[in-house]
Amino acid sequence: MLSYRASLDVSRDLAQAVARLLSAHRIRIGTRRGRRVLGCFAQAVLLLRFMRQRAAVADLARDNAVSLKTAYRYLHEALDVLADQAPELPEVVAEAVNKGTDHLLLDGTLIDTDRVHDPGSRRDRWYSGKHRQHGGLVQVVTDPDGRPLWVSPVEPGCTHDLTAARVHALPALYPAARDGVPTLADKAYTGAGVGIRVPVRRPRGGQVLDRTTRGWNSYVNSARAFVEHGIAHLKTRWRALRRVSLCPRRISAIAATALVLSQMENRY
């Protein structure tokens, strides 16, 4: 067997911060000292390798000299611990209102997946006709500069953006609009309601929009471009979001973990 040295391009401060969260979790559930094969720091590195490099779980098991089942258990535990640190949307909205934020940005993104598990359903709900591939739909809210503030639980890929937003995002975004913080979104959210501002669709029959409306569309499209930058950052920095090989339902925890890690990196 050939051995080689490798490096992980994340700061040690981030790994130690994750390890502290895992240590607090072990204390909370009553894990006794010396009963785990891996320490908290080694488990944190395992998680960061999965998130940053999209490392295969089999490779993580081999490198840590544990069984495949144990590696999966450590990974899922770490994902759940980090995902629990993700902020709730009402908290994000309240903070934005207190800061006097000009607006929030909302968009959806499809997380590719190569495993589909949907027992009891005759429909292929995880197939997105829009993207022509399997995946899970996640809603993302960012600040005006594109910094991700919140991610939603996953919905099957066949779900429309507006449908997912009505379930997870809009109930918290409406109060923000009433308090002077509207949300900008693309045309997929047309009909979302008061306070969700979208571009105006071009009328049928070849009619042309007037100059004022075209100017409004240009403003919304230029402002909401930053949410796409924020989503691209999450997927680029945390490669586990590019394609998920775990159960599609785990996309919720993976996306929330990516959000928490990005926010922690900003602090460190």
Output the 3-class SS for 56-69: CHHHHHHHCCCCHH
- The rounded distance, in Å, linking the Cα atoms of 268 and 265 is 5
Amino acid identity for residue 44 in this structure: A
User: Is 47 in contact with 39 (CB distance < 8 Å)?
Assistant: no
Q: Determine phi and psi for 22, rounding to 5 degrees.
A: -65, -40
As given in the structure block, the two tokens for residue 105 are 């940005």
Please, what is the Cα angle at 241 between 60 and 255, to 5 degrees?
A: 100
Please, what is the Cα angle at 251 between 249 and 252, to 5 degrees?
A: 85
| Three-class secondary structure of residue 192 per DSSP | coil
The string over 52-70, giving b where at least 16 C-beta atoms fall within 10 Å of a residue's C-beta and e elsewhere, is bbebebeebbeebebeeeb
Amino acid identity for residue 103 in this structure: H
Q: What's the pTM value of the predicted model, to 2 decimals?
A: 0.91
pLDDT at 268: 66
pLDDT at 118: 64
Cβ atoms within 10 Å, residue 192: 21
pLDDT at 53: 93
Domain limits, the chain: 12-83, 89-247
pLDDT at 207: 78
The mean pLDDT values, 10 residues at a time, for the chain of 268 residues are 78 95 94 88 96 94 94 97 96 93 95 76 78 92 95 94 95 92 92 89 78 86 91 94 92 97 88
User: Quick one: how far is CA 7 from the chain centroid?
Assistant: 25
pLDDT at 182: 94
pLDDT at 120: 63
Nearest 10 degrees: Cα torsion 182, 183, 185, 190: -60
pLDDT at 170: 95
